[in-house]
Structure 1
Amino acid sequence: MTTISGVGAVSDIASLQRRLVAGGYDIGAVDSMPGPRTYAGLLAFVARRPMSAMIALGSGCATYLPRYGIADSAPRLANFIGQAAHETGSFRYLAEIWGPTDAQRRYDGRADLGNSQPGDGQRFKGRGIFQSTGRANYAALAAQMSLDLLGHPELLEIPSNAVWSACLFWTARNLSALADAGADDTITHRINGGENGIADRRAFVARAKGILA
């Protein structure tokens, strides 16, 4: 049974769907089944953007969030979506905007990212919901996802793959346990390495928690 709630009750999914419908989101029938359109509506609500822009991401969420247990509790789902909204500019960008800036120019040759060849910095720039960066991270994801990300790094910009890679990132860092424990700011540290944009992240997470409550 797939649920979106803190207590695992199917009725809570219907409540979420009714709230989305009342807010003007065309998610289809209120059927207690959290499919692509329910997720698209949820993303649109949190990001304050049209639902039409969220359909592909909603489909990815419906496929992968239950698989990795991220939809098993409201705190997990709220933190995942809230952090994702910040990282992607309200789900506008699935790839790092390339200047290049001075910081981006320094990506080349960074051993900690596994960037060993000229041009690796731009080739393996941040992509996906949580901005996977560097040859080494792309290689690790390629092995897990069975995708040729070294030959075609742009595959991480496909919405379903962007969600999938984020679920792998989330799971590897045990972020569901932190969400369930209410350690929201620690999740920011695990994702960002610091507190960049923490006020914005908190606001997105709070908005998601509000509609999932």
Structure 2
Amino acid sequence: MPPLTVQQLLQILPNARSVAGIFLPALNRAMARYKIDSPVRVAAFLAQVGHESGHLRNLVESLNYSVEALLAKFSRDRISEADAKAYGRTAGCPANQQAIANCVYGGAWGAKSLGNKKPGDGWLYRGRGLIQLTGRANYAAAGTGLALPLEEKPELLEQPEHAAMSAAWWWSTHGLSELADADRFQDIGSVINTGKPGRIPHGAAERKALYDRALKVLA
């Protein structure tokens, strides 16, 4: 299919107006490199990265969680009740986002699941890019795949070119175009959001709405 146009991008992700011109060439290069090259693949990719990044506007994960949200979202082996109360946002106190990241992405869980083995890795390798790449191991793998020093300079994923390319790399290495071809859209979101297919991802309704809109725009 031909390269995506700015008009198509804004029809699919209308809230991206302020950044569409910056991201369009980066998205087209990334999709071409990783063979996200049919309407169904492009629609699925844009829907997922659009949801993950707030329509291309948020390239760094926010951990601005309330105490209640921390306790609901993460298990007690990832954050204790005491730590949630100490670090979470309350009416009179902002969230300690660095401490939250080091807690929920660190410890035994972080070492096993994300390769975060050093103090501070949770914050240093918090979600970045259009698909919110998270964890030292994922940064290292993406760095190898993209020939970028992402372990040493994780902030590179905050640049549009690398944000888009890392998302397409992750998409390709996890076989998500093949899931798109098989009409398994919810499984794509499940893999991105939970690490496994077969689950209902966070934001499933918005992901699907963006996908349906993209299919119409790209038809």
Give TM-score, length-normalised by structure 1.
0.78
Per the alignment, residue 87 of structure 2 pairs with none
CA distance in 2, matches of 1:102, 1:148: 25
1:79 to 22, 44, 48: 44
Q: CA deviation at 1:64?
A: 1.6
Contact 2:8 2:218 in 1 (8 A): no
Per the alignment, residue 212 of structure 1 pairs with 218
**Which structure 1 segments of 5+ residues have no match?**
5-33
2:27 to 45, 61, 70: 61
Per the alignment, residue 95 of structure 1 pairs with 60
1:198 to 188, 194, 204: 204
1:107 to 105, 108, 121: 105
**Which structure 2 segments of 5+ residues have no match?**
65-96
Per the alignment, residue 152 of structure 2 pairs with 151
Per the alignment, residue 7 of structure 2 pairs with 41
Q: CA deviation at 1:124?
A: 0.4
CA distance in 2, matches of 1:173, 1:191: 9
RMSD: 1.7
Structure 1 stretches of 4+ with a deviation exceeding 3 A read none
Change over 3 Å in CA distance of 1:116–1:151 after alignment to 2: same
Q: CA deviation at 1:83?
A: 0.7
Per the alignment, residue 119 of structure 1 pairs with 120
Give the letter for the 2:183 counterpart: G
Q: CA deviation at 1:106?
A: 2.2
Residues 154-165 of structure 1 aligned to structure 2 (within 5 Å): 154-165=155-166
CA distance in 1, matches of 2:161, 2:153: 15
CA distance in 2, matches of 1:50, 1:204: 13
Find the residue that maps to 2:32 and give its secondary structure: coil
Q: CA deviation at 1:42?
A: 2.5
Find the residue that maps to 2:127 and give its secondary structure: coil
CA distance in 2, matches of 1:207, 1:188: 16
Find the residue that maps to 2:132 and give its secondary structure: coil
Find the residue that maps to 1:65 and give its secondary structure: helix
Q: CA deviation at 1:102?
A: 7.4
Change over 3 Å in CA distance of 1:103–1:50 after alignment to 2: closer
Find the residue that maps to 2:8 and give its secondary structure: helix
CA distance in 1, matches of 2:16, 2:173: 31
CA distance in 1, matches of 2:16, 2:191: 30
Give TM-score, length-normalised by structure 2.
0.76
Contact 1:95 1:157 in 2 (8 A): yes
CA distance in 1, matches of 2:7, 2:151: 33
1:70 to 33, 36, 47: 36
Give the letter for the 1:210 counterpart: K
- 1:31-73 CA deviation, whole Å, 9 max, x = no partner? xxx26xx1x33222212136442112111112121121102x1
Q: CA deviation at 1:85?
A: 0.8
